[in-house]
Structure 1
Amino acid sequence: MTITPPALSVFESLESEVRSYCRGWPAVFDRAKGSHMYDEDGHTYLDFFSGAGALNYGHNNPVLKRALLDYLERDGVTHGLDMGTTAKRAFLESFQNAILRPRDLPYKVMFPGPTGTNAVEAALKLARKVKGREAIVSFTNAFHGMSLGALAVTGNSMKRAGAGIPLVHGTPMPFDNYFDGQIPDFLWFERLLEDQGSGLNQPAAVIVETIQGEGGINVARPEWLRALADLCHRRDMLLIVDDIQMGCGRTGAFFSFEEAGITPDIVTLSKSISGYGLPMSLALFKPELDVWEPGEHNGTFRGNNPAFVTATAALDTYWADGQMEKQTIARGEQVEQALRAIVEEHPGAGVSHRGRGLVWGLEFTEAAQAGEICKRAFDLGLLLETSGPQSEVVKLLPALTTTPEELDEGLRILARAVRETV
């Protein structure tokens, strides 16, 4: 496709230099529907980015949009702090009936604020309050958010440097396969816990992503996650699973940890929990951990009622019968086959693939190639982003509602972009 650079002057002259995605996608987007976005010049883009995982059910999903419009048209409460509202009650009942009870999960539900990093901050604060300790263990290449507490358990050096102050009370440990299978799992971690001279304060909790999205699509094995859960139990540490990007069905099951058969003490959700891209987050925790005093953790926008409405519609539409999980797994197999073919087509290019469900990555030995491929894909009408500490991975996050035909189209564009770049 031939793309004419849009008039970006107001963005360049007035908006902060901190902007990022718009630099890789020099277009002014005007409309979006399903798995497509449209710029103001009429160009169409197939979206394999999905709002960084916030749009699992696609752009302007018609079922969710209808529920939202009906609610707004009847003057339903928009801003409610933590007041009881009909929208919040409907969401809690649907979440309990469609998600928690079928999985025998006992969690209490907390609305900490509108973003993922709000949920992480609440989880860390609660763990420290429950255990009376400060230290939190995280993992290499982790990403948990951009506020100070979340940054302290994030691995990326550039993001950490932006804090401007020391990030303390967090200790990184090797993620699964960090040493390419050469060192037994948790050998270093357990040794530090046992050694009174290690300098590691007894942690209150461990926070982990089952699949590290920003870290490069690093997939933890189920057995590694089970061993981590066992270690936490034996060593009196809470296990926090950050399911902000990988939850809400991204890996197949609603929660990404279900495959491992574990029950974390605390779970954080955001991004696609609202279903529509509206700001919303949850912190879930076992009832015995609910030691909060009223108002001890709050936020002005923790009662985003329009998000409750679309979240309820998403649960009732997609999670009542188990079909979404089966569909996502089938779509994931379709993606995996295409990525395997790309890898086989370029045996000397140092490219590999990994993922699960509908989150996948193509890693390149020459890190710069990933960015060039995403740039070429944009020119061809496909939105992709990079991830990994050196932006060496092409990251695929298509909507769970993407059709097989749309997946084929996007994967063909990706294969062409790789072919023309590598």
Structure 2
Amino acid sequence: MVVFADRREAGRQLARRLEHWRGQDVVVLGLPRGGVPVAYEVAKALGAPMDVIVVRKLGLPFQPEVAMGAIGEDGARMLNRHIVARAGVSTEEIEQVEARERAVLEDRIVRFRKGRERIDLAGRIALVVDDGIATGATANVACQVARHLGAARVVLAAPVAPPEAVEHAEGADEVVVMSMPRQFMAVGMHYNDFSPTSEEEVVALLDAAAAPRDKDESASPDADEDVGIPVGEVVLAGHLQVPPNATAVVVFAHGSGSSRHSPRNRYVASVLQEAGLGTLLLDLLSVEEELDRANVFDIGLLAERLAAVTSWLGTRADTRGCAVGYFGASTGAGAALLAAADPASTVAAVVSRGGRVDLAAPRLGEVRAPTLMIVGSHDEYVLDLNRQAQAQMACPNRLTVVLGATHLFEEPGTLAEAASLARDWFVEHLRS
């Protein structure tokens, strides 16, 4: 069974399957909410404009999770007459469900587009993208809506779908699916991280897609590569992404039990990249060292590694001269602050997410870099530790509490809020 790390990785893989559409008159249409992160990666890879195609499932009145059809913009509607007949749903009941769902649909259009005009599809290729296809009802109506809006050709694309959904796809001239398991249970089973996509994330990705991009031909190409960083007798594994002419790079120090592949840190990194910041996701311990749990909590060792990595960034042509920030999660935040407390440190800003900043005591008073501490309101133990640590800090600092969040920021919208806070802090302090 094919399993994707998260929606962003799935989008990058899907984009490779759709490479033949590069350079053609394509508009990428993401199905909110989960399809938008996938569509964003596709649009970015193809260099194509991106929009949302907003549709809503029409659930049975007595069993809303079962779709009897779907609706879309401009009055589009699709009904599964077989399901409607078997369930004995009346015309009046259908109208009631549709009225309720259409109100939600219209509200989402306003919030997602934020006043932007819908991208004109007339005579163009509509590439409808979702994070997966289960029954196909929503995807089918999305294709019909695209056709209704004037698309000359409609392509439906998704990372995963059962064969029967592909066979019965309606309204699409072409269907592209990477994985079609015959024993299909649910889309989410094909992702390591299938956490809900928040409306805030949808808006942020649409904003990023709509932002004008400079076409400076003299700019150096993006760095997007796996790197090995020699530190003493070990080589640390990392992934570096640096936009052309970058002026700042954020180094990620993950917490215990996590790695550079952490979907949460990768999501935060993607938000920073959209703001023009470089990012370095790395493991501060080798695979062998991680087998000894004592190393995972050796904050002094991790801080030394961070300092060495910062020096390494100064040896590369594309990051030499860049301001450096640290993003630390959990125990990684303690290492980031301890590294920042070194008198020789050049780090320009620190952000802690759910951080054990107390692990940097008693040197918190020596930190000079502006520091933002982000903690969930339901992470009471860590919140108390952060308040105590803040009282010891003399640098410019702020403690921000994300309402409803627990330690891992798994609740809908909380990680997106934390990522936005981190982005704004780094943009303010690394570019000033």
Same fold (TM over 0.5): no
Structure richer in strand, relative to its length: 2
What TM-score, normalized to structure 2? 0.28
What TM-score, normalized to structure 1? 0.28
**Higher normalized contact order (CA 8 Å, seq sep 6+, divided by chain length):** 1
